[in-house]
């Protein structure tokens, strides 16, 4: 996994984005953040990259709909992001730097029903 630091992308409050195993970041990443991105690289390989991005987008849309708050009449893009199964796995295990060595195949599936 390669990390390319730059001042432009990703936009907004995001620190890094993993595109086909290449990580673009706006600042140096901590060991835990690099581990987070490496977990995404493993997920991408399992779904042959395109499958990962398709699933990610569809699940984000489903989670966005689920995030709708009827009292404020608003969606929460941030909540949708944090509830995607890929992100749940990566955030849950990013502090375990050894996780990549014993991670079960398709481990992200365990985080689908939450
Ligand atoms: Zn992530």
Tell me, in angstroms, the distance from the centre of ligand 1 to residue 52's CA: 12
Please tell me the distance between residue 69's alpha carbon and the centre of ligand 1 in angstroms: 24
Ligand 1 geometric centre to CA of 19 (Å): 11
| 7-43 tens-digit pLDDT | 999 998 889 999 999 999 999 999 999 999 999 999 9
Question: What's residue 12's pLDDT?
Answer: 86
Query: How far apart are the CA of 51 and the centre of ligand 1, in A?
Result: 16
User: Under a CB-based contact definition with an 8 Å cutoff, are residues 51 and 109 in contact?
Assistant: no
Sign of the torsion angle spanned by Cα atoms 9, 89, 75, 66: positive
Q: How far apart are CA 88 and CA 73, in angstroms?
A: 25
Q: How many CB atoms lie within 10 A of CB 70?
A: 6
User: Which residues have CB atoms below 5 A from the ion given as ligand 1?
Assistant: 87, 90
Do residues 37 and 30 lie in contact, with contact meaning Cβ atoms separated by under 8 Å? no
What lies within 8 Å, CB to CB, of 80 at 6+ separation is 60, 63, 64, 66, 67
Over residues 51-91, the pLDDT tens digits come to: 999 999 999 999 999 999 999 999 999 999 999 999 999 99
Look at strands 22-25 and 16-19 and give their pairing.
Answer: antiparallel
What pLDDT does residue 23 have? 97
Ligand 1 centroid distance, CA of 4 (Å): 16
Q: Find the 61 Cα to ligand 1 centroid distance in Å.
A: 16
């Amino acid at each position: 996994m390669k990390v390319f630091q730059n001042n432009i992308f990703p936009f907004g409050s995001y620190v890094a984005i993993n595109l086909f195993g290449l990580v673009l970041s706006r600042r140096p990443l901590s060991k835990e953040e690099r581990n987070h991105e490496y977990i995404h690289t493993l997920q991408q390989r399992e779904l042959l990259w395109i499958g990962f991005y398709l699933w990610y987008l569809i699940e984000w849309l489903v989670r966005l709909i689920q995030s709708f708050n009827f009292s404020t009449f608003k969606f929460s893009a941030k909540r949708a992001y944090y509830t995607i199964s890929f992100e749940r796995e990566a955030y849950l295990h990013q502090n375990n730097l050894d996780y990549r060595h014993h991670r079960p195949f398709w481990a992200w599936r365990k985080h689908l029903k939450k």
